[in-house]
Structure 1
Amino acid sequence: MIRGLFHEPPGVDFSRAVVAGLRARLSGHPPEAMARVTLLVNTNRMADRLRAAFAQGGPTLLPRIGLVSQPAALLPPGAVAPADLSPLALRLRLTQLVRHLLTAQPDVSPPSAAFDLAGTLLTLLEEIQEEGMDPQALETLDVRHLSEHWNRSLAFLRIVADWSARGAGRTPMAAQTDALTALLAQWSEAPPTDPVVIAGSTASRAPTRRLIDGVLALPQGAVILPGLDGDMPDAAWDSLVDPDGQGAQDHPQFRHAALLAAQSQTRADCPSWSGLRPAAPTRNRLVSLALRPAPATDAWREEGPDLSDLSDACEGVTLLAAPTPGAEAMAIALGLRAALADGKRAALITPDRTLSRQVAAQLDRWGIEPDDSAGRPLQQSAPGRLLLTSAALLGRRPEAEALTLLLSHPLTRADDRIDHLRHARALEVELLREGPCPFPDRAAVAQWVADPDTSGQADAWTDWLCDLLDRLGAAPAMAPLASHLDTHLAVIEHLSGDAIWQGEAGRSARAVVEGLRAAAPEGGDGAIGALEYTRILQALLSAEEVRETYAPHPDVMIWGALEARARTADLVILGGLTDGVWPDQPAADPWLNRAMRAACGLRLPERSTGLSAHDFQQAVAGPEVWLSRATRDAEADLVPSRWVNRIEGLLGGLGGQAAEALSQMRARGDRWLRLAGTTDQPDTLLPPAPRPGPVVPASAQPKRLSVTAIEMLIRDPYAIYARHVLGLRALGPLRQTPDARLRGTVVHTAMERFAGSKTDALDPGASARLRNILEATLEQEAPWPATRRLWLGKFDRILDDLLTAEATRRSLGRPILLEERGRWQVPGLDFALTAEADRMDDRGVAVAIYDYKTGKPPTPKQQALFAKQLLLEAIMVEEGAFGTIGKRAVDEVAYLQVGSTYAEQRVQIDADVLAATRAGLRDLIEGYRAGRPFVARLMPEALTYASDFDQLSRRGEWDDTQRATTIRVGQ
């Protein structure tokens, strides 16, 4: 006879215990008796673990194993009508309702959040059906004293509840409820004579409680509770549940206490199912007291001194408090590796997926691939990333960075990968970075192909790329959900063909896409934005997990918190024990606050904390346990988990043997942290690199420099060495922004066009003409609408001052040279000076030289020491370096500041200044020809100066106060 409530204490391998107890009760029965047993568990993982436990016990027939959440599987086929809608279809219907709300009340949330809000609303409706809440309870809620948000939320919920009752169709939760009702009715009329056992459930949901009641009423119905605390005194146990059924819901034993109270039974009426002994009984007593419901300190004072064998209870516990999450991951990886070397099975249990990925990455250095039960989110798999990356480009101009990510994805043109990568790399370097081309399109690609200085060529690949850009650009910004999906799948077909749907992740991605296609009509015919479509797709992909590991190590595992109920290992590491992770912060409910939920009889936020506490109590009861956490992350100090705080507080407060045990627990953790700290340290430390000053043979030095490079040669000679001797240059950024360099280009181009558009005195239409020129230049050079408006507004403020000064300049002469290149071979030196002059005006015999600056012009002191650009241009003019004007005298040199304000900075010029500049240039070049070192950051303009070649010079290992070390190169 198998009937009644049973339990297993914390620290027992629950799956093994269930199998052992069932075998013992069926001992002496024929083999087919096991096949007549129905075993109901709460998760598929528990079912898999039970099958493995049966297999370990030798050949046997298996019982029928099902899930408590699928009562329809216990009924004859067709006994209950299926749901009219899938969960996704229902969520899309709710999305339409939420979108109407956001349209009527736009201050609630942006329209793109409609699908996310519909997800929380669907969860609430499912909970209402699960808990059997009467929708009329919403009508009786009094929220007049609450904020306007809750009043509006309640009004909307009343509409949704009415819609759900009348027009939502048969929902999945309704079908499940009907199946449970039909199953219980069938059992009531004809109770099964074969055993029905529920194992591992904590009865945290109303349907499960109904099923448990039905099973316990059967002739051979049994329920096995996991992790029942038998060490808590009866008085404390009884205090867990209030007469109204509420109570200490955040306590790990609350669900068990509530279930026993509902059955009018005590723990004495709930015997052990298997009789297996816990791994650490003394630790169970310690943890039970530490987690005692408030006021806990009173119980600690009374019962703490009675705890015995504390050294035995704490002997297998390691308390690890790492300074950073990275150090915690490294120490955990070392512990897992050491356990493996000792022949132990080890598991990391944590709800923190970031920590688990860090630990897996650290294990990879030793070639250990853990068996991660959770896998990884589908959105992080290769098919998921391709779907999301391409979806983000729909309905908008593709940006250079996003296009590069798309082209470099491993599934893009997987059938022609090598040739594709060669073309994509050339496109990135030559067009997207060096162009620069922030928003590539067909015209930009055609220009790149036509440029003889690039490697681009018109072929099948560039045709494919242009078709891709056209498809992305033609995607509608607003369209129905089904239309967005069709457009997106056409892009995916063009990008990857069938390669994206291969493998486990590909099949999962296809299932998500097909599910969305089937449910898309429920999203309505109304147009949604491309951003909202992307958010819908991301939400669906992130909700799915995929396991792509084919050969993980069988003895190194990473489990979620639920795994502590079904599995155990020789070493269990509880990682990420910080508040907000263990326990997690309850998810915010945008529809009902805590008081409103309590008034409606719905589940309270403390429920999730209690379930996490129960998982912790079971996991900490293993034979060898680590309690691991980080004390600080990148932003702030972290608060230890409340359960760790309680254990440390109890042991520290007891003093004596308990305090010594706590000290030893911490010492064991510190040892692993010290080992982790030495893992990445090299055996020998190399001395820091010196400040480099390479000496270059004269034959290898640059034979030509521009006038702007002369200032760089004075300030940072090493940059000239790297650029002109080694031939290195920094690639432009992929994420291009409207920076100062682009603004300078725009102003230079506009002023060149304006100065060359009219040679007579300025007319009354000059202001409008100059502004139109600048606006057209911005349209051509700066493809950012907001930036164009901002820069145009700044230019408007200086327009009058600029034209007044321009009129004065035009009265003295006319522009004769605009953006023209010049070259001067310095006599007696194998060296040429080049320049591209912004503007020169004809003053008759002489010329005036002007240079536009959008930033601050150099000060007189800077001009005297470093900024030699315009003085060198003046020398070049006198030497006839600019062929269109011949040899001319120079009577004015000035910087024209065309920025937030207009100003002019004239440069002192006379025969002595030019002679000194000539001599300085000769001395500078001859000094390097004679062996002067090209010192890194010789005279930087500011401490914050950053060179493109700081990494090459290994700056950071040296600073600007150190003397340079001469390094002879090129010998």
Structure 2
Amino acid sequence: MAELAYLPPGVDFATELVEGLRARHPDLSRVTLFVNSQRMARRVTDRLTQGAPSFLPRLHVLSDLGRHPILADLPPAPGRLSRLLDLSRLIERLLTAQPDLAPRAALFDLSQSLAALADEMSDEGVAPETLAGLDVSGHSAHWARTQAFLAIIGPLLQGGRARKAADRLAARLSGPVVVAGSTASRGANLLLMRAVAEHPEGALVLPGFDPDLPPAVWATMEDQLSAEDHPQYRYKRLTDLLGLTPADLTPWTTTLPEDPDRNRLISLSLRPAPVTDQWRTEGALLPPLPEASKGLSLIHAPSPRTEALALALAIRQAVGQRRKVALITPDRNLARRVTAELDRWGITPDDSAGVPLALSPPGRLLRQVARAFEAPVTPDVLVALLKHPLAGSGLKRGLHLRLTRELELELRRKGPAFPDAAFLRAWALARPEDGAAEWGQAMARALDWLGAPAPSDLAGHLARHRAAIEALACEPNSELWKKDAGIAALDLMTTLQAEEAEGADLSPSDYRRLFEAEISGGTVRSAVVAHPLVSIHGPREAREVQAQVLILAGLNEGIWPATPSPDPWLNRQMRKEAGLLLPERQIGLSAHDWQQAVAAEEVILSRALRDAEAETVPARWLNRLCNLMAGLPDRQGPEALAAMKTRGAAWLDRAARLEEPEAPLPPEPRPAPAPPVSARPARLSLTRISTLIRDPYAIYAQYVLRLRPLDPLRPEPDPRDRGNAIHRILETFVKERPSETLTQAKARLLAISETVLAEETPFPSARLLWLARIEKAADHFLFQDRKHGGKAQQVETKGEIAVEDTGFTLFGIPDRIDVLPDGRLHLIDYKTGTPPTKKQQAAFDLQLHLAAAMAERGGFGDPAEVGMISYIGLSGDKAIDTPLTPAEIDEIWARFVKLIRAYQGENQGYTARRAVFDTRYPGDYDHLSRFGEWDMTEKAKTVRLSDDPL
């Protein structure tokens, strides 16, 4: 009979496995050894090669059963990608017939989940007929539809090389055969392990078996639906299949765990929910908990960033003490944060996961280009591509960066909204830099490939994708396909191009989703010189890592354990009836990883109390452990838990001290800079006088410091564009002035609107929306246009005037100046927003009042008396008419001159946000004035600035 053995949590599995092998088999060359992973195979090989020379066993990896030489006579497996596309075509027909089943965008997600289901069925030995025979009468109609679909495509769900290999190996076992490190969680592995357990010279070595679990608890784990998430459930199932009990398992070696008392504590905390009443009875039998938990520290960090810094400090201390330390976490973002924090001390960890290919420089560029296929290229997409470190790497890098910067400024200021290859060539040809024309030709070749291509098969999309990215990088002299990441990216493209994936055409969006799914599975393992004492691993590797300090990080629900992925094809009950794996299986495996990892010599447990969105929930096993300890006062549990938290808080205190500045920085006061009079603006437009009154600091920043806000990189139909277009429409309408009826005038206004919007606005949706608004406001405008009987004398005409003896010039362009029947002038300003009220006009919005004063003083030609000013709202039916007398205009002008003289005084500062209209909304220069360090109630501090910049 085969030997069924185990190694408890907290022992070095590889070391003890080799010790047991040598004790049982002096001639290891006769042994066939199956281990669970490649990493375990490397560790076992390292242990075997230490000590006296000897022959090695035949070593195989269970995760690679599908590639075992025993399957050499079988034809090669079909390409994974071609299989995925075959499934996607079937699902596309399903979604066409039943569009309410799922959105079209989920096509490849459904294809991948269906492929995973087919692999699982093959691995677990579930025939397609089993799914067709399931009783779904008690389930919703959705599951009946998916069952019918699965029955139709049943032949495509067959296969499974791993199970075939297990079948053949089970029939050909000879000599000593040992399966070590597997939890029997997958069907193919379980099949092989059952055969080995029946082999006379077979042996099973189970990792992380819990000998502290009482027989009564083992007996309760019968129902898969309720017990699957327990870390020991898979061993219960295995022993039941073998006709044994857990008590029949024997230790593989006599080595004890690092802390048996802690293992008993962890075992009790993980009891299945129906028997947690045993916490009271068996908890009283535990040893004193301060001693059992002395090697545990618990960190409750306020944020993921603080958690990463605290863990980096713990790793740094372990390195300083020459102790081996390993970070175990499923959270790759946390792992990258810790790696970044360690960089400040020059510590590079050995990260087993490497860097995701999708996040490497060539991977990011490949994804950006794939997204650029979905729609016409916009300025933000183009600039993002050109600013990528690999873009233009085959040319002179300095020239590429300089021209990219100048192109960005050009696109921000003038557009176009959709730059193409012709624009880029023309722009580069006009540049004075040497090599600019050649650069423009090279980048334009890449633009020729971008845009929104027509649907194509996979080979066509891949060829276009590769041509575009190589043109962008300026191959063959670029860095695109070099170094580890470049080589991995080229391998991916070559592999995809080698796939025999003929069939229906893919839209650019379909291709982008397919490519992103493929590249997301790739990793890059760069040949870096890692620190020999520091490593980072995923939870599955907990049994393969031996370190003096083990850090279990990211202990929050949804991370550890991860939330099970939803299955769109089968629900939990249907999976159970079919003999497939339940979603809780992954939780149970994660619990098993936790039970092994937490048994190490010294363990730091950490979690963040909040993530980027909300408060987090602690991992269920950590929560159970804390609740158990807190409920055992007789065993000094609360004191032990407090000591764990105190040890963890020490790392948070060190992280806070590391981040704390040496001296507190006082907040900046509300600024009111007073530059030299010679540096102050000598000219302002009518529209900027309101800004001078409300937010003088903005005038200082724009005209003294010469800082102007950049236009957005991606042009969008914003209110300013709408205002410009409408002003041009009204200017054209007013200037023509034919003899016409009101109906004819409205038709002419709308015709002009269509023409101007077609020329001014490249966004079809905006054109339709704005034209509808103009049509709605047309009657209101035409009424206001004729209400006072005036005739347009000037339309959009610029004027200016010197402000007495101040040396200051006021200029502006009123929308319209009419001559009223009595000969006086009527100044009109169109507002696409809300017109200012009369109170606002009197105190702040002096634009038309000052324009009236300019007109009376000859600012727009011959001096003439102004009788009225009007603000006409074009987004509603508002119009505010304000009759004026010469005395009122003189009074406004006198106030204005006083304002200008005040700002010509050396001690007059430009106060930030002096009287803004709405304090809730930020201004263009609030970041420069440090708004937030001061508030609107604070008195401004005037600071005189020197003429000498030094």
CA distance in 1, matches of 2:226, 2:818: 89
Aligned equivalent of 2:555, options 570, 574, 577 = 577
Residue 728, structure 1, aligned to residue 727, structure 2:
no
Match of 1:529 in 2: 507
> Cα distance, 1:544 vs. partner?
1.6
User: Could you tell me which residue of structure 1 aligns to residue 402 of structure 2?
Assistant: 422
CA contact (8 A) 1:746 1:777 kept: yes
Aligned partner of 2:893 in structure 1 is: 918
Q: Equivalent residues in 2 for 1:118-517 (5 A)?
A: 118-164=111-157, 171=159, 173=160, 175-185=161-171, 187=172, 191-193=173-175, 195-241=176-222, 248-416=227-395, 417-429=397-409, 431-442=410-421, 445=424, 459-473=437-451, 475-496=452-473, 497-498=475-476, 499-517=479-497
1:135-181 CA-to-partner distances (Å, cap 9, x unmatched) read 2222322223322221211111111214546xxxxx5x2x3333333
Find the residue that maps to 2:871 and give its secondary structure.
strand
Q: Hey, what does 2:38 align to over in structure 1?
A: 44
Structure 1 residue 896 and structure 2 residue 872: aligned? yes
1:855 paired residue among 833, 837, 842:
833
> For the Cα contact (< 8 Å) 1:71–1:183, is it kept in 2?
no
Specify the alignment match of 2:942 in structure 1: 966
Partner of 1:519: 499
Matched, 1:907 2:882: yes
2:757 pairs, out of 746, 761, 778, with 778
Structure 1 distance, partners of 2:598, 2:877, is 72
Q: Which amino acid aligns with 2:16?
A: A
| Residue pairs, 1:623-638, within 5 angstroms | 623-638=601-616
Work out the CA distance in 2 between the residues paired with 1:887 and 1:177: 98
Whole-Å separation in 2 of the counterparts to 1:182 and 1:357: 43
- Structure 1 contact 349–559 (Cα < 8 Å) conserved: yes
Which residue type is aligned with residue 294 of structure 2?
E
Whichever residue aligns with residue 190 of structure 2, its letter is R
Native 8 Å contact 1:92 1:520 kept in 2: no
Contact 1:576–1:629 (8 Å) recurs in 2 = yes
Distance of 2:346 and 2:583 partners within structure 1 = 42
Indicate which of 542, 564, 583 corresponds to 1:605.
Answer: 583
Q: Distance in 2 between matches of 1:479 and 1:777?
A: 38
Q: Report the Cα distance in structure 2 between the residues aligned to 1:25 and 1:575, rounded to whole angstroms.
A: 38
CA distance in 2, matches of 1:141, 1:126: 19
2:85 matched to 1:104? no
* Cα distance change, pair 460–848 in 1 and its aligned pair in 2 (3 A): farther
CA distance in 1, matches of 2:222, 2:699: 78
Tell me the residue number matched to 2:18.
Answer: 19
SS at match of 1:69: helix
Q: Within 2, Cα distance between the matches of 1:73 and 1:397?
A: 44
Alpha-carbon distance change, 37 to 451 in structure 1, aligned in 2, over 3 angstroms? same
Choose which of 725, 728, 746 in structure 2 pairs with 1:746: 725
The answer on 1:658 being equivalent to 2:637 is yes
Distance 2:13 2:890 in 1: 93
> Deviations along 1:331-357, whole A, 9 cap, x unmatched?
222222222222211111111122222
- Please tell me the residue identity of whatever aligns with 1:293: P
Q: 1:458 to 1:504 in 2, by over 3 A?
A: closer
Q: What is the CA-CA distance between 1:632 and the residue it aligns to?
A: 2.5
In the alignment, is the contact (CA less than 8 A) between 1:131 and 1:207 conserved in 2? yes
- Quick check: 1:935 aligned with 2:916? no
Distance 1:370 1:484 in 2: 38
Structure 2 distance, partners of 1:144, 1:494, is 58
Write the letter of the residue equivalent to 1:568.
Q
Query: Judging changes above 3 Å, is the alpha-carbon distance between structure 1 residues 295 and 110 closer, same or farther for their aligned structure 2 residues?
Result: closer
CA offset at residue 842 of structure 1? 4.2
Corresponding residue SS for 2:375: coil
Alpha carbons 1:260, 1:267 under 8 Å: kept: yes
Structure 1 pair 880/440, CA: closer, same or farther in 2 (3 Å)?
A: farther
Say if 1:798 and 1:530 are closer, same or farther in 2 by CA, change over 3 A.
same
Q: Residues 552 and 7 (structure 1 numbering): CA distance in 2 closer, same or farther, change over 3 Å?
A: same
Q: 1:917 to 1:662 in 2, by over 3 A?
A: same
Question: SS state of the match for residue 815, structure 2?
Answer: strand
| Partner of residue 86, structure 1 | 79
CA distance 1:581–1:58, shift in 2 (3 Å): farther
Q: Which runs of 5+ in 2 are unaligned?
A: none
Three-state SS of the structure 2 residue aligned to 1:565 is helix
| In structure 1, C-alpha distance between the alignment counterparts of 2:734 and 2:443, rounded to whole Å | 40
What is the percentage of aligned positions where both structures have the same residue?
Answer: 43
Flag the 1:942–1:837 CA change in 2: closer, same or farther, 3 A.
Answer: same
Question: Counterpart of 1:543?
Answer: 521
Worse-matched range after superposition: 359-368 or 923-932: 359-368
Relative to structure 1, the CA distance from residue 192 to residue 144 in structure 2 (aligned partners, 3 Å threshold; closer, same or farther) is closer
Q: Return closer, same or farther for 1:495/1:667 CA change in 2, 3 Å cut-off.
A: same
Distance 1:47 1:946 in 2: 60
The 1:451–1:752 alpha-carbon spacing in structure 2 relative to 1, beyond 3 Å, is farther
- Cα contact 1:12–1:276 (8 A) shared by 2: yes
Q: Counterpart of 2:815 in structure 1: which amino acid?
A: D
Distance 2:648 2:191 in 1: 45
Counterparts of 2:714 and 2:52, CA distance in 1? 61
State the shift of 1:623 in Å. 0.8
Q: CA deviation at 1:447?
A: 7.5
The answer to whether the 8 Å contact 2:790/2:826 transfers is no
> Could you tell me how far apart the structure 1 residues matched to 2:65 and 2:457 are?
37
2:107 maps to which residue?
114
Give the deviation of 1:613 after TM superposition. 0.5
Closer, same or farther in 2 for the Cα pair 1:888/1:716, shift >3 Å? same
2-structure distance, mates of 1:205, 1:350 = 23
Q: Is the 8 A contact 2:867 2:883 kept in 1?
A: no
Deviations 1:281-336 (A, max 9, x none): 11001111111123333211221111114222100111222222222222222222
The 3-state SS of whatever aligns with 2:855 is helix
Q: How far 1:72 sits from its partner (Å)?
A: 5.9
Q: Cα 1:654–1:799, aligned 2, differ >3 Å: closer, same or farther?
A: same
Q: In structure 2, do the counterparts of structure 1 residues 58 and 359 end up closer, same or farther at CA, with 3 Å as the change threshold?
A: farther
Distance, in Å, in 2 between the alignment partners of 1:960 and 1:354 is 40
> Contact (CA 8 Å) 2:123, 2:186: kept in 1 or not?
yes
449 and 89 in structure 1: CA distance in 2 versus 1, 3 angstrom threshold: closer
CA drift at 1:846: 4.0
Q: What is the identity, as a one-letter code, of the residue corresponding to 2:884? A: I
RMSD of equivalent CA atoms: 2.4
Read off the aligned partner of 1:215 and give its amino acid letter.
V
For residues 204 and 764 of structure 2, what CA distance do their matches in structure 1 show? 67
TM-score when normalising by structure 1: 0.92
Alpha-carbon contact 1:427-1:456 (below 8 Å) kept: no
Secondary structure of the structure 1 residue equivalent to 2:284:
helix
Classify the secondary structure of the residue corresponding to 1:628. Answer: strand
Quote how far apart the aligned CAs of 1:383 are.
1.0
Selected match of 1:68 from 62, 68, 71: 62
Partner Cα separation in structure 2 for residue 447 and residue 912 of structure 1 = 57
1:812 corresponds in structure 2 to 790
3-state DSSP of counterpart to 1:275: coil
Q: Structure 1: state its 5+ residue gaps.
A: 166-170
Partners in 2 of 1:638 and 1:405 — Cα distance?
34
| 1:276 alignment partner, SS class | coil
Question: C-alpha deviations, 1:228-250, integer Å up to 9, x for none?
Answer: 111111221233245xx776111
Alpha-carbon displacement from aligned partner over 1:373-415 (angstroms, at most 9, x marks no partner): 1123211111111011111111421122222111100111112
* Distance in 1 of aligned mates of 2:430 and 2:830: 29
